[in-house]
Amino acid sequence: MSTDSSSFKIPNAWRIKRYYLYIIVTVIALVLPWITVDGNHFFLLSFDKLKLHLAFIQFDMQELYLMPFLLMLMFLGIFGMTVVGGRVFCGWVCPQTVFRVIYRDLIETKILGLRKRIKNKQLEPDMSKAENKVKKAIAILLWTVLALIAGADFLWFFVPPEDFFVYIMDFDNHWTLFGSVIGIALFLVYDIVFLKEDFCIYVCPYSRIQSVLYDDHTVMALYNMHRGGHIYDEHHNKLFTKQKDIQVEEPHAECTACESCVTVCPTHIDIRKGLQLECINCLECVDACTTVMGKLGKPSLVTWSSDYEIVDQKGKTQYFRTKVLAYAILLVGLMVILGMMGSTKEHMLLNINKETRLYDVKQMPDSKFVVENAYEFLLQNTENQKMKFYFEVIPPKGMEGKITIAKPIKEFTAVPGIKKKKIVVLRTTEMLVDNDRKDTTIPITIRAYAIGHEEKIVVFRKSTFVFPRSDIVKGTK
């Protein structure tokens, strides 16, 4: 390869691409809770109103069977992402990383100048200077404000903004909500200002399971020792600190020993040691080496690639392999199941319980009879508006019109979110079954619906109508 620097174009920095993604993720997180369709949010798990909003569809808490599928979708998505791109979630999406970049790179470095260079993340500010102490206090104050916003934003997915600000002003009745915002903000201040990347290294469980998910084709930040030379031995003991020492042992070695890839690392590791749990795939080391080697007209010694391609040099990285395809199939399957289950959402909930007395028989003066069965209907309107409901009885074939509703005699109103109990009495004056040996259980279907919305808001429930022995009906017992 030519060493003429003019023949080699330095690629765009991954850091800038990450910043763009951070902005997009932040905007989505802040704006999404405010977007509603027919009063429904994209995602809202409201313990206050016992509702789940998913993809702008409202579900009742009885329909929380959707949550396990959402959790499986999230974890399988992260695991699949790890199989393909290592800890790319940590470096590109994780709130911990986004918050640290905002605090360290934006507030401390760009705004206040407390840190001199973004590319040196291991050199901490000199806090013995009074000026730096003032800047540090201002940085913490600015981050505290942002932490309060972040805490509120997190809670908006559980308490929607339209309720949140009403509740937060009523401290006496909603002190738990107020305390939650303060608690989250205090944790974020401690985490981002004092704990820093130690959270990623020691606290986050993800770093402990990632190695189980890796294979030879997993893409990660890797140092090409075949080009750069061996800086560490097999026991991770450092062998060389200067380029001339490296080239004594390996004359072809291209590493300049500038250690730009080390000083820029937010988790304080040396990527030249090889795979390490602390690496969050932020690709800062790739950018640093790209800049240094680019000035020499050479490609970076640290690249986003796989062991198969860089370390073992067996060929090109295989992205569409069996493990990746398996994750893709599982994710698609889960999304299909979730979509199918979500599409069957019931716009009203109805439980039917038959009363302990099987039936009531009344003898009429004209030798007629009336058989009644009583039920307790527990109905809940899961829509956002008050509606009127009524029922219809669907008996077996041949008994059409012979079982009627005696009570209630007209439709009734149900307000959203409140369970309404109604005593329903079904009646017949027909000899449905002529059996003098035992009572007969007749299967029926109850069709419950909202007046004016019969096609959309309707449910069907199976139940039974007990018809007594013929001698009881005829009064000859």
- Over residues 213-225, the pLDDT tens digits come to 888 999 999 999 9
Supply the pLDDT for residue 242. Answer: 84
What span, in angstroms and rounded, lies between the C-alpha atoms of 102 and 110?
10
Q: What is the mean pLDDT of the chain?
A: 88
The model's confidence at residue 1, banded by pLDDT at 50, 70 and 90, is very low
Q: Which long-range contacts (CB under 8 A, 24 or more apart) does 422-425 make?
A: 422/376, 422/377, 422/379, 423/374, 423/375, 423/376, 423/377, 424/374, 424/375, 424/376, 424/377, 424/391, 425/372, 425/373, 425/374, 425/375
Q: Mapping DSSP to helix (H, G, I), strand (E, B) and coil, where does residue 329 land?
A: helix
Q: Which two tokens stand for residue 92?
A: 């590109």
Q: Lowest-pLDDT range, 23-32, 102-111, 196-205?
A: 196-205
Could you count the other beta carbons within 10 Å of the beta carbon of residue 67?
A: 13
Residue 7 pLDDT > 80: no
CATH class for the region spanning 348-473: mainly beta
Buried b / exposed e along 320-358 (16+ C-beta atoms within 10 A): eeeebeebeebbeebeeebeeeeeeeebbbbebeeeeee
Q: How do residues 370-414 score in pLDDT, each as one tens digit?
A: 999 999 999 988 877 888 999 999 999 889 889 999 999 899 988
Give the pLDDT score at 69.
Answer: 87
Q: pLDDT (tens digit, 9 = 90+) per residue, 65-117?
A: 788 888 899 999 999 999 999 889 999 999 999 999 999 999 999 999 999 88
Contact 81, 90 (CB under 8 A): no
Quick: pLDDT tens for 253-277: 899 999 999 999 999 999 999 888 8
Percent of the chain with pLDDT over 90: 55
Give the pLDDT score at 84. 92
Residue 185: predicted pLDDT: 97
Could you tell me which of 53, 474, 14 has the C-alpha nearest to residue 283?
14
> Among 242-246, 283-287, 392-396, which stretch is predicted with the lowest mean pLDDT?
242-246
> Whole-model pTM above 0.85?
no
Mean pLDDT along residues 359-370: 83
pLDDT tens digits for 174-196? 999 999 999 999 999 999 999 99
Closest C-alpha to 210, from 281, 266, 274: 281
DSSP H or E segment with residue 421: strand 419-428
pLDDT-derived band of residue 14, with 50, 70 and 90 as boundaries? very high
For residue 2, pLDDT over 50 is answered with no
- Ranges in the chain annotated CATH 2.60.40.10: 348-473
Which residues are registered as beta bridge partners of 51?
46, 60
User: For position 165, what pLDDT does the model report?
Assistant: 93
197 and 266 in contact (C-beta within 8 Å)? Answer: yes
Q: What is the pLDDT of residue 112?
A: 94
181: closest CA among 216, 210, 217, 144?
144
Name the phi and psi angles at 427, rounded to 5: -135, 150
